[in-house]
Amino acid sequence: MNSRDLLPMGEISSRSGFAASAIRYYEAEGLITAHRSAGGQRRFERGVLRRLAFIRAASNVGLTIEEIRDELARLPGNRTPTKADWHRISKHWRKRLDDQIAALQRLKGGLDNCIGCGCLSLRSCAFSNAGDWAAERGPGAQLLPDTLRRPHPVKRDSSS
Amino acid sequence: MNSRDLLPMGEISSRSGFAASAIRYYEAEGLITAHRSAGGQRRFERGVLRRLAFIRAASNVGLTIEEIRDELARLPGNRTPTKADWHRISKHWRKRLDDQIAALQRLKGGLDNCIGCGCLSLRSCAFSNAGDWAAERGPGAQLLPDTLRRPHPVKRDSSS
DNA sequence: CCTTGAACTCAAGTTCACTTCAACTTGAAC
DNA sequence: GTTCAAGTTGAAGTGAACTTGAGTTCAAGG
């Protein structure tokens, strides 16, 4: 771990595609670690790029920071995932995606039914009925699993 | 529109499944309207229940408040949707669901590829590569459409 | 009349995953 | 030695869709 092998913020940022602020945030959250230069600047090991790739992939699948942290922690000794690790993890992720797809398809099925009846009735229409099979959940979204609830902003790129 | 036909907050709330606070919020946002009692309490017309059912359904599909407001406004004269209206609207919603499903399936396809290679490499793995085909988007989520970004809290029910 | 539960308002809080800002310091090149 | 891009910090802001809280008033029953 020669100091020549350590990368500064800018390089990690451009190579990973994450903004510096995001990388600092991930460090604060314990998803990655950094060394410091004499003057206090961050110096990253190369492996951090892999971790960041993992973080991006996990985030694409819809995992929260907390879940990503757990998943990273489960990799023994903070190592880069082996093929076996990755196999196990991606199985997990795949199930998550399958669940999400299934939920949307159920929703669509309900919609298709309702096209026929044109009802949208509180009493008989399962698609919008709060007290029926899509019972006691949050306010707006009843048929969707937690993982498919509404998005949050994520500012669009200022370039372009 | 006899005053006997107007429903108070509690009844609208329990029949629709929305919290009173949510209903007040929807009113403030212009999704529904209410009359007032002599003392200033809200009195709702029965039709509001249908509107709320519509709001729930739309919210299930993932529409924002803004989109729901637009969609409601497009119903001429604030009327309850006719069969034709509903047909048009549900076609729109169906397309949205189809897009979301397709996006998840693309994502899953990428994941399946990666199980084979076990790579998760910044250079070659499209699933986590920021600069490749899943190019310039927000920070975390690259392959997901805006409609499928991360959820927001929605407090769990305190009853139960 | 009195109590009690339901409703009211308005401001502030919540969550998540970051970004933005202001004010300052580093460090590499010239 | 000067310059200036790149880096640092901590606090505050963002957005959606509500919820919570404090303090007050309404309305129906007894």
Q: What is the DSSP string of chain A?
A: --GGG-EEHHHHHHHH---HHHHHHHHHTTSS--EE-TTS-EEE-THHHHHHHHHHHHHHHT--HHHHHHHHHTSGGGPPP-HHHHHHHHHHHHHHHHHHHHHHHHHHHHHHHHHHH----TTT-TTT-SSSTT-S--SS-SSS-GGGS-----PPPS--
**Mean pLDDT, range B143-151, rounded to an integer:** 58
B52 versus A114: the higher-pLDDT residue is: B52
Question: Of A47, A69, A61, A44, which is closest to residue B140 (Cα–Cα)?
Answer: A61
Average pLDDT score over residue span A81-86: 76
Specify if B92 maps to a domain.
yes
Q: Is residue B158 part of a domain?
A: no
3-class SS of residue B50 = helix
Q: Which of B32-41, B43-52, B125-134, B151-160 has the highest mean pLDDT?
A: B32-41
Q: CA-to-C1' distance for A22 and C18, Å?
A: 6
Nucleotides of D under 7 A from a protein CB: 6-9, 14-20, 25-27
Q: What is the CATH number of the domain that holds A74?
A: 1.10.1660.10
Q: What is the pLDDT of residue B99?
A: 87
Please check whether residue A53 lies inside any domain of the structure: yes
Check residue A60 and give its pLDDT. Answer: 85
Which pLDDT band, with edges at 50, 70 and 90, does A90 fall under? confident
Establish how many alpha carbons lie within 13 A of residue A74's alpha carbon, considering only the half-sphere containing its beta carbon. Answer: 11
Task: Give me the mean pLDDT over the B2-20 stretch.
Answer: 90
The residue among A54 and B152 whose pLDDT is bigger is A54
- The verdict on residue B65 lying in a domain is yes
Digit-coded pLDDT (tens) for B95-128: 889 988 888 888 888 777 766 665 655 445 555 5
Please tell me which of A24-38, A44-58, A121-135, B143-157 the model is most confident about, judged by mean pLDDT.
A24-38
Burial B23-50 (b: 16+ CB within 10 A, else e): bbebeeeebbebeeeeeeebebbeebbb
Backbone angles phi, psi at B42, to 5 degrees: -70, 140
B95 and A CB contact within 8 Å:
no
CB contact under 8 A, A122 and B49: yes
**β-strand pairing of B35-36 with B7-8:** unpaired
Window 15-44 of B: residues touching A by CB (8 A cutoff) are 15-19, 22
For residues A38 and A99, state if they share a domain. Answer: no
**Same domain, yes or no, for B77 and B100?**
no
pLDDT-above-70 percentage for chain B: 64
Q: How many CB atoms lie within 10 A of CB B105?
A: 13
What per-residue confidence (pLDDT) applies to A79?
65
Over the Cα atoms of chain B, what is R_g? 22
Residue A104 has pLDDT above 70, yes or no: yes
Kindly determine whether residue A125 and residue B53, on different chains, have CB atoms separated by under 8 Å.
Answer: yes
Number of structural domains in chain B: 2
Of A123-137, B71-85, B97-111, minimum mean pLDDT range = A123-137
Q: Say yes or no: A93 and A21 in one domain.
A: no
Interface of B with A in 105-144 (CB under 8 A): 105, 107-108, 111-112, 114-115, 118, 120-122, 125, 127-131, 134, 136-144
Q: A134-143, B29-38, B109-118: which has the minimum mean pLDDT? A: A134-143
**B160 within some domain:** no
Taking residues A38-44, what's their average pLDDT? 97
Residues contacting nucleic strand C by the 7 Å CB criterion are A 18-19, 21-22, 24-25, 37-41, 59, 64-66, 152-155, 158; B 8-11, 13, 20, 24, 34, 40-42, 138-141, 150, 152-153
Q: Comparing C-alpha atoms, which of A16, A6, A62 is closest to residue A38? A: A6
Do residue A59 and residue A98 come from a single domain? no
State the Cα angle at A12 between A7 and A14, rounded to 5°.
Answer: 135
pLDDT at B87: 82
Domain boundary among A29, A52, A81: A81
Q: Which two tokens stand for residue A107?
A: 């929703």
What per-residue confidence (pLDDT) applies to B82?
72
Give the end of a domain, one of B81, B105, B124: B81
> In terms of residue numbers, what domain contains B45?
1-81
The residues pairing with B35 across neighbouring beta strands, listed in sequence order, are B43
Percent of chain A topping pLDDT 70: 64
A-B interface: how many C-beta pairs under 8 angstroms? Answer: 196
